[in-house]
Homo-oligomer: A and B are copies of this chain.
Amino acid sequence: MNLSIDHKNPLPLHIQAENLLRNMIKDPQYAGGKFLPNEVQLAKQLAISRSTLRHALNKLVYEGLLTRKKGVGTKVAEAAISSKSKNWLSFTQEMTARGIIIKNFELHVTWVLPDETIANFFEISPTKKVLKLERLRGKAEGPFVYFISYFHPRVGLTGEEDFKRPLYDILEKDYMTVATLSKEEISARSADKFIAAKLELEPGHPILVRKRFVYDQGERPIEYNLGYYRADSFVYTVESRRE
Contact = CB atoms under 8 A, between A and B. Distances in A.
Query: Can you tell how many copies of this chain the complex includes?
Result: 2
A204 interface: yes
The secondary structure that dominates the A interface is strand
A196 to B, nearest CB: 13
Contacts of A86: 240
Nearest to A183: B239
A239 B181 contact: yes
Contacts of A190: 190, 205-206, 231
Interface string A225-243: 0000101001111111111
A86 B182 CA distance: 13
B238 A238 contact: yes
A179 B240 CA distance: 11
A141 interface: no
A181 B243 contact: no
B238 A186 contact: yes
Interface in A85-100: 85-88
